[in-house]
Structure 1
């Protein structure tokens, strides 16, 4: 497994909506994540800074990268755009984090 971690930003007045949308995540989005090798996926919110910390384990980088081209993923990005910082293609602005320590 490949461990990936990243940071995103939710708008301050949209924290509750962000939580709600993830509590009600579409089953087809979850299926797509699994099809693209995602396991053990978590997102944490720092309510003070509005930062979201994401952690996911994937099987393969190339397979994972392909999810961005799927219709359901694009639809999810469109759905999330009003409540978080996004790029011009509606993907979330993410900062990948470098792993500096791991312990099993």
Structure 2
């Protein structure tokens, strides 16, 4: 199992909408994540800064990287682009975080 962490940025005032969309995650998106080796995926919000912290456990880096090129993932990015910072292709602006401790 590979542990990954990423930081993203939510636009101010969109906490409830962001959570609602994820609570109603499309079945085909959930299936794609499973098919590409996502063991678990959690997202946390710092309400003071609107930074999102994503924590993932995946099976394989190469398999996981392929998620970016799936049609359903691109559709999801487009769907989420109005509530968070994105790149020109609507992918989230994301910073990989470095693990510095584990108990």
Q: TM-score, normalised by structure 1?
A: 0.96
Measured in 2, the distance between the counterparts of 1:81 and 1:40 equals 23
Q: CA deviation at 1:13?
A: 1.8
Dislocated runs of 4+, deviation >3 Å: none
- Larger helix proportion of the pair: 1
| 1:35 equivalent in alignment to 2:32 | no
Show the counterpart of 2:21: 21
Where does the alignment leave 5 or more consecutive residues of structure 2 unmatched?
none
Show the counterpart of 2:9: 9
- Please state whether the residue corresponding to 1:83 is helix, strand or coil: coil
Where does the alignment leave 5 or more consecutive residues of structure 1 unmatched?
none
Counterpart mapping for 1:1-104 below 5 A: 1-103=1-103
1:39-87 C-alpha deviation (Å, 9 max, x unpaired): 1210001111101000001111100000000000000000000000000
Q: CA deviation at 1:20?
A: 0.6
Q: TM-score, normalised by structure 2?
A: 0.97
